[in-house]
Amino acid sequence: MIENDASLSSRTDRDTRPDRHARPDLAGRSALVTGGGSGIGRAIAVALAECGAVVTVTGRRPDALAGTAELHPRIRTVVGDVGDPDRAEPMIETAVAGTGRLDVLINNAGVGVPLALGRIDPEVARRTWATNVLGPTLLTQAALPHLTESRGSVVNVSSTYGIKPAPGHSLYGASKAALEQLTRSWALELAEHGIRVNAVAPGPTESEALLRMGLSAETIESIKDQERQRIPLGRRGRPEDVVPWVLALADPHGWVTGQVIGVDGGYVLV
């Protein structure tokens, strides 16, 4: 399974990170995080709420979303699939309800199934593109009037595979490469409105993704061990490795736009 990652001219890959304590003040602001039922999305949602924001998390699994909501009183949930074009407007409406505004949009939801060319199923291809590319596009478009009013920010969650080729990952990697190109294009388009658009690109990161693929515990551990051996810093990522970078990009006083920041332990380098 593929999780998220990093880099070239518009990317930075560092072994340092923003001060965990220098968090932005988001009191009175509102954020929407897709794919917030676990992993990176859950960690981002909790961190935004701790910064003072009212946070709406979306996802397809009600129980998982409820688990996220239990972690902070400022987290609300809305069940829905970002890959469904009819859900974009209702998700934005839910996020705006109560506060009357939307300041931060985190396009985190993503799917990826390793398939070599010759074995790619059309339905898997459709779902990958719908979730990783069309979903963020329509959701950001629906959020545009509110982000324009708040001069807000968009943070897309990409992956090392958006730039790093790997056998069996062509479809997933292409979808993340597309998301990074959307990031740069939107940054130019929306700068005149004061909206900043950036992305983070995590490397292999601890989450429930491999488990949800139905793999055995032995297979999962084997995959993780192989990944550890290929990461220069010697370990898989943790959601908390990614969170500080997302918070920095979500800061309403930020001056960064159009960037893709690699948070991958050097994985993109090998």
Catalytic residues, by residue number, are 172
Cβ atoms of 44 and 211 closer than 8 Å: no
Give the tokens for residue 234: 């010697």
Give dist(CA 48, CA 34) in Å, integer: 13
Q: Which residue has the tokens 């930075």?
A: 12
